[in-house]
A and B are shown apart, each in its own frame.
Chain A
Amino acid sequence: MTIMSMWEYANPKRFMGWTGHVLPWAFGGAAVCLTVGLIWGFFFTPDEMRQGSTVKIIYLHVPAALMAINAWIMMLVASLIWLVRRHHVSALAAKAAAPVGVTMTLIALATGAIWGQPMWGTYWAWDPRLTSFMILFLFYLGYMALWAAIDDPDMAADLTSVLCMVGSVFALMSRYAVNFWNQGLHQGASLSLDKEKNVADVFYQPLLFAIAGFVLLFFALVLLRTRTEIRTRRLRALIRREGQ
């Protein structure tokens, strides 16, 4: 596939065409992976020696935290494409991803707090990773508020893209905070490409299904919401013409 042909898929009309076919498969795949991962993890995995049954929270907490960061990275890439190429679908895709990203961040924070209470004796601590996640959550809210506050869509896309670049520092910090400051309550990453062994296989396999489910759900929701944004843009143009 050449670079030019890749851009053709992002043409609004083409985008509506191919996403219409992909969307049911993405939602279906997400439903299957989430069902398998969560049922396997909840019903058919043992307790962990130190954490007891709270280890089952890993199947929600880790995938949600992973997607909270990756959603922002996806928004950053889409924002850079907008700033460089003025490609409207990329700006709308970034806008569409924000509510999904903030939901993932909220789940990561909520499940982390629920898990933290029995393990650390507190729901919240100003630990580097927890704090950077909280700041990322606030950046998501600010990003969505900025889109909502500006009527001119091109100016909104410009300003939110700049905000997205600034917020990327906190998205990366959320991932690497434990490594930067070797202190705080939160453990290191549960999954890492540079580690031979992650969590034990009995927990790892259902966790992979849960992660795949969250990734597919994110993908499906961003496609669905981007389609809605494209239609909203067309609808506003028609209403403006009717008013003239």
Chain B
Amino acid sequence: MPDLGKYVTEVLLAYGVSIAILATLVAMSWRQSRRVRRDLEAAEARKNG
């Protein structure tokens, strides 16, 4: 861990907030992608009998 001096809170907060927001976006995008893919496969299976 580098010595962040008197700005330790600001720097860690900036990294923490940004990484959390990005991780949430990636996770939500993947989850939505998987759900829609599964629903589409089920609908196509119904259509094909």
Contact = CB atoms under 8 A, between A and B. Distances in A.
A110 B37 CA distance: 34
Q: Is the interface of B mostly helix, strand, loop or mixed?
A: helix
A56 interface: yes
Nearest to A116: B10
B47 to A, nearest CB: 6
B40 A238 contact: yes
Interface stretch (A80-88, A98-106, A136-144, A170-178): A98-106
B15 A60 contact: yes
Given A110-B17, A238-B47, A221 B5 contact: no
B10 A235 contact: no
A77 interface: no
Given A118-B10, A231-B37, A242-B46, A43 B18 contact: no
19 contacts: A42-B15, A52-B6, A54-B10, A54-B11, A56-B11, A57-B14, A103-B22, A103-B25, A111-B17, A111-B18, A221-B25, A224-B29, A224-B30, A227-B33, A228-B29, A228-B33, A232-B36, A238-B44, A238-B47
